[in-house]
């Protein structure tokens, strides 16, 4: 039994943030019913890279463990079926533009009349209110608007996007937080709620440290590459054999770092023994460190620094991450057996639950694979009714 066993999620979301969130809920035990368009499905089913039998690796990454039902939500009968499913759901997740679900009779106010305990999470670009609420947006747009892109890259270069879709991924985590908050909150009186979650708000919340600097110093933060704006040294360095490593040293690590690198002149300077002093002397410190590290071999240097407890990390490629012995020991990669694509690797949910074990890696659904069984189980429809719905394009 996983922690969310017995919880039913009706998932109207598409592409990344919403599907990521509902996959997490599914792998923690919830039953997730994914509502998709007939014949087309979630548009991410068409995203690259495509696998040999036409499935999408992108779709596989965020839709494991769900049941797929196809519904034409523009058809009144499709809308009525969706309302029937919502009457039995604990959580609804949707990421349409504000007002879209209301027009289909699937907004929170209407559904809550028949299911007062419903927890309804609306994840949109800019929220349900405000002058931008009707705008569409994508991950990189939010990276630009939120200041994340402005802060990413090197000081002498242009702004850069993060190497992962950080806005979508963090919004997905906040959808999970919202859903669990709603579930916990209804324990007092049994009533659910509508949770308004804007991707732009989520990204702005990630500026906590940058905002603190702005508020404290009235200083607009700028790009700093791999360097930490408030700690020296905390940066990436290249070694003699071309390898990269990242060192992040506090005051207690400063003298051991200098000893390993043979920087007696720096270690003898009393002013550099505090982070404030090293911040003031950043240029001198960084130049000396770069020169010293450029003359050392990567592997032995990393080991020497670890031996004196200086925080250091080898800079891995993505492939190297999955060959790392610690990651192998933690079992971060598993697999599922898909009916058309066969055995396919997948990342495990990182949560480990003491009394339930690691959540299983489940298989992503084929489009509409569960339509018939869901309509029978949840709404009591018969074979003839289902066949008529299929013939007329409702499912």
Q: How far is it, in rounded angstroms, from Cα 103 to Cα 111? A: 13
Q: How far is it, in rounded angstroms, from Cα 90 to Cα 134? A: 27
Could you say which DSSP state residue 273 is in?
G
Contact criterion met (CB below 8 Å) for 71 and 78: yes
Residues known to be catalytic: 168
- pLDDT of 237 reads 98
Among the listed residues 256, 259, 351, 264, the one whose alpha carbon sits nearest the alpha carbon of residue 311: 256
- pLDDT of 357 reads 67
The series of mean pLDDT values per 10 residues for the chain, 395 residues long, is 93 97 96 97 96 96 97 97 98 97 97 97 97 94 96 96 96 98 90 97 96 94 94 97 96 97 96 97 97 96 97 95 95 95 94 78 96 96 96 96
Helix residue ranges per DSSP H, the chain: 17-27, 57-62, 76-87, 100-103, 108-114, 139-145, 148-151, 166-185, 199-205, 208-217, 251-261, 264-268, 275-280, 282-294, 298-307, 318-323, 325-330, 371-379, 383-391
Residue 385, token pair as written in the block: 């009714």
Is the pTM of the predicted complex or chain greater than 0.85?
Answer: yes
Residue 78, token pair as written in the block: 């499709």
| Cβ-based neighbours of 225, under 8 Å, separated by 6 or more | 153, 154, 155, 235, 236
């Amino acid at each position: 039994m996983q922690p969310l066993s017995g919880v039913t999620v009706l998932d109207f979301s598409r592409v990344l943030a919403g599907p990521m969130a509902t996959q997490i809920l599914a792998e923690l035990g919830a039953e997730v019913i994914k509502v998709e368009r007939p014949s087309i499905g979630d548009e991410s089913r068409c995203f690259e890279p495509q696998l040999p039998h036409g499935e999408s690796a992108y779709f596989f990454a965020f839709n494991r463990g769900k049941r797929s039902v196809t519904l034409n939500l523009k058809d009144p009968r499709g809308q009525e079926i969706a309302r029937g499913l919502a009457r039995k759901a604990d959580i609804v997740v949707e990421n349409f533009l504000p007002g879209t679900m209301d027009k289909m009779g699937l907004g929170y106010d209407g559904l809550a009349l028949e299911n007062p305990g419903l927890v309804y999470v609306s994840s949109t670009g800019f929220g349900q209110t405000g002058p931008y609420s009707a705008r569409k947006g994508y991950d990189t747009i939010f990276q630009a608007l939120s200041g994340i892109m402005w802060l990413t890259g090197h000081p002498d270069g242009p702004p850069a996007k993060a190497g992962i879709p950080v806005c979508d991924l963090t919004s997905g985590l906040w959808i999970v937080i919202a859903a669990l908050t709603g579930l916990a909150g209804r324990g007092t009186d049994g009533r659910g709620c509508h949770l308004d979650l804007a991707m732009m708000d989520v990204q702005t919340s990630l500026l906590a440290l940058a905002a603190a600097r702005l508020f404290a110093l009235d200083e607009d933060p700028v790009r700093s590459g791999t360097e930490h704006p408030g700690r020296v040294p905390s940066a990436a360095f290249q070694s003699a054999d071309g390898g990269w490593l990242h060192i992040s040293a506090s005051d207690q690590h400063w003298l051991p770092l200098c000893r390993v690198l043979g920087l007696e002149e720096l270690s003898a300077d009393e002013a550099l023994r505090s982070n404030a002093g090293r911040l003031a002397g950043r240029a001198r410190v960084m130049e000396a460190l770069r020169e010293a590290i450029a003359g050392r071999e990567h592997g032995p240097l990393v080991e020497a620094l670890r031996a004196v407890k200086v925080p250091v990390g080898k800079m891995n490629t993505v492939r190297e991450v999955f060959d790392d012995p610690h990651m192998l020991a933690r079992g971060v990669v598993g697999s599922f057996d898909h009916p058309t694509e066969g055995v396919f690797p997948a990342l495990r949910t990182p949560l480990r639950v003491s009394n339930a074990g690691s959540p299983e890696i489940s298989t992503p659904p084929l489009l509409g694979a569960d339509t018939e069984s869901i309509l029978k189980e949840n709404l009591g429809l018969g074979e003839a009714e289902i066949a008529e719905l299929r013939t007329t394009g409702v499912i």
